[in-house]
Amino acid sequence: MPTTNQKLAGGVQKVNAEMREAAIKSRAEALSMPYINLLSAPLNSDLVKLIPYEIVQAAQAALFLQSGKQLRLAVSDPENAATIQLTDQLKSAGYTVQVYLASEESIQSAHRIYFSNPYPSKKPITNVVQEQEVGSFSQEIADLKHLKERVVSAPFNEALNMIQLGGYKARVSDIHFQPERERVEVRFRVDGVLMPVFDITHEVYLGILKEIKYLSHLKLNITHVPQDGQYSFKINAKLINVRVSTLPIHYGEACVMRLLDSESARIPLDQLGFSGEALRLMHEAVGLAHGMILITGPTGSGKSTTLYSMLSEVDVLKNKVITLEDPIEYYLNGVAQSQINTDYEYGFATGLRAILRQDPDIIMVGEIRDIDTAETAAQASLTGHLVLSTLHTNSAIESIPRLINMGVKSFILAPALDLIVAQRLVRRLCTCATVQSISESERVHLDQLIQGITAKGMPASSVTQLKRPAGCDLCSQTGFKGQLVIAEVLRFDADLRQKLWKTARSLKFIATLMSILK
């Protein structure tokens, strides 16, 4: 929660900004000119091509709208010689120019959005802060206490950099901006749990949102429909990919940024939380010459991370590995990664058929969503390819009826499936955890679990103490740091395949009998 001083500082900043804009608006009325506040106006990044930066900077002007040969130009001083020269040149070129009065702050904001990156489609930002600054800055915001103070007092591009760095240092998976009536809530999802961090004014948020849209190549003047984009930045040579999603809501545009650390794709399976028999079966499956491996679970259960970790164990020099993703989350060296594009009718099914003509050894399909993709993936596993994919089911065994309901024949599934992993993510305790004795209700529950384990012939011992979350600066006082997988692994053997085949035959017999009775 913000302190009283932080609230007062934010309030003073907002009042000062409003007073400056009110003064500019009064001056516009005195000069009989229209007024514009570019901090809250939609901007079209295509206008950057019309006038060079040096000219608009000297004229303290910014184009904010074009309709054919009609232009709208914001200026801070209509009597400035460079401003007059610019308007005369535009008129000489055949344009009709309507001049608006704007504050210097809003014009500089437009310049940052227009000119901060002259080659946006080819060149992502390369660094959030200088490498030598990361250490001291990260110490200040390790527990996120000082992040708001830095954000509200910085230019919008620097504010975004600070939020990104703060999220990275706090191990954030998603950054949420949610406009409310008077403020915009900023929340971080850490280890699967969404936590409020601070709030900012709508004016500050609009400036930050324009920076986000510009970097991710979204349309700046479109606010009434959802948009999706992505960009990347580096922190000390580490690449962080950012997936951006905007959504129009009642009080503005909500924005969610998903931070994807490229190094997460190379985490070994045992460090993800897999162990024992489950780990052995997964290592064995990755080494198969052909077959189908499915990772199942709800959204946010770490399915993609598990797939990438399995691929990282493959020898890409001896195997042709191709992925089909929507979108590409992590970039892997030695792997041919393809992203679907529904605008050009390039979906999972058509992409998978195209991949099979590329002579692959191993194929990763981001998700099985329809019968065409499911059947093609199953057939590929039967024709000498190892296929890895994900499916949305709650347990491993539920994947079979899910695929059958899609329309995949059981006699194809029986020989195609090799391994199904159903997984969830739980938070890891931080090193600050304390050991405490269990309560009576916990003892009864744990005894029941132990009896179930020993009944299956596996060793288990009684428990009298458990670690409890405490809280420290390293974990931002949450008591948890990181996540690990809890998984159910189903390996298909000859007996299970035979049972699935018999089920297919009986279902076919029942369907035939019902058609006769009709």
Task: Report pTM.
Answer: 0.66
Identify the H or E element spanning 30: helix 4-30
Fold of 4-115: GMP Synthetase; Chain A, domain 3 (3.30.300)
Say if CB 14 and CB 201 are below 8 A apart.
Answer: yes
CATH (residue range 131-262): 3.30.450.90
pLDDT in tens, 362-392: 999 999 989 999 999 999 999 999 999 999 9
Lowest mean pLDDT among 42-56, 235-249, 427-441: 42-56
> Is pLDDT at 510 greater than 70 in this prediction?
no
Average pLDDT over residues 442-452: 85
CA distance 486 to 439: 24
pLDDT (0 to 100) of residue 141: 47
> Is pLDDT at 398 greater than 60 in this prediction?
yes
Say which amino acid occupies 99: V
Average pLDDT over residues 30-38: 89
Every domain of the chain with CATH number 3.30.300.160 lies at 4-115
Which has the closest alpha carbon to 378: 398, 360, 352, 397?
352
Every domain of the chain with CATH number 3.30.450.90 lies at 131-262
Every domain of the chain with CATH number 3.40.50.300 lies at 267-428+473-517
Q: Please report how many Cα atoms fall inside a 13 Å half-sphere around the Cα of residue 145, on the Cβ side.
A: 10
- 64 confidence band (pLDDT: 50, 70, 90): confident
Please give the CATH architecture assigned to the domain spanning 267-428+473-517.
Answer: 3-Layer(aba) Sandwich (3.40)
